[in-house]
Amino acid sequence: MDRKKDEDRWLDEALARVRVDVPAGAAERIMATLYDLPPQRLSARERLAGAWTRLLGGLEMPAWSQAATLATATALGVLVGLSNIGAVEPPSNDLMAFAFDASPVPGEEP
C-alpha cells in the first residue's frame, strides 16, 4: 500500500514538472483574426426552430409536452390553412380551446 502511495506521489510530482506556457503574442495573433468574422449563417428553418425551442424552453415544458404542442399547433395550422381556401370547415372554438388547453370563460359563448 505504501509502495502504491509512493508511486502515486512520484507520478504527481513528475506530472507537475511539465509546464506549458502560452507564448507571448499567440493569443494576440488569434484575436487579430477575429476582426473579420463571417456572417452567422442560419437558414430560415433553423431560425424558426431556434425561436420555437427558446419559446418552449422558456416555458420549461417537458420534451413530450413540447412535441405534443408542436404537433397540435402544426395540425391546427394546416386545418386553418385548408379552411382559408375553403377546403374544409374552419375549426370550432371548442377545438381551439381544447388544443390550447384554455378553459372556457364563464358566460362566454363557446
Partner 1 sequence: MDSDEELMARVGAGSEPAFRELAARHVAPMLRLARRFLRNGADAEDVVQDALMRIWAQAPRWRPEAALRTWLYRVVVNLCIDRDRRVSPASLDDVPDPADPAPDPQARMEEIQTASAVTEALAELPARQRAAVTLTYYEGFSDAEAAAILATSAGSVESLLVRARRTLRDRLAHLRMR
Q: Measured from the CB of residue 23, what is the shortest distance to partner 1 in angstroms?
A: 7
105 forms part of the interface with partner 1 (CB under 8 A): no
Site residue total, partner 1 (CB under 8 A): 33
Burial class (CB in 10 A: 0-12, 13-18, 19+), 87: exposed
9 forms part of the interface with partner 1 (CB under 8 A): no
70 forms part of the interface with partner 1 (CB under 8 A): no
29 forms part of the interface with partner 1 (CB under 8 A): yes
Grid coordinates representing 13 are 510530482
Q: Measured from the CB of residue 81, what is the shortest distance to partner 1 in angstroms?
A: 28
Q: Measured from the CB of residue 68, what is the shortest distance to partner 1 in angstroms?
A: 20
Dihedral (CA of 42, 73, 97, 86) sign: positive
Q: Please say whether the beta carbons of 58 and 66 come within 8 A.
A: no
Q: What is the CA 11 to chain-centroid distance, rounded?
A: 43
Grid coordinates representing 64 are 413530450
| C-beta closer to partner 1: residue 21 or 109 | 21
31 forms part of the interface with partner 1 (CB under 8 A): yes
Q: Which chain residues interact with partner 1 by CB under 8 A?
A: 7-8, 10-11, 14-23, 26-27, 29-31, 33-35, 37-38, 40-42, 46-47, 50, 53-54, 57
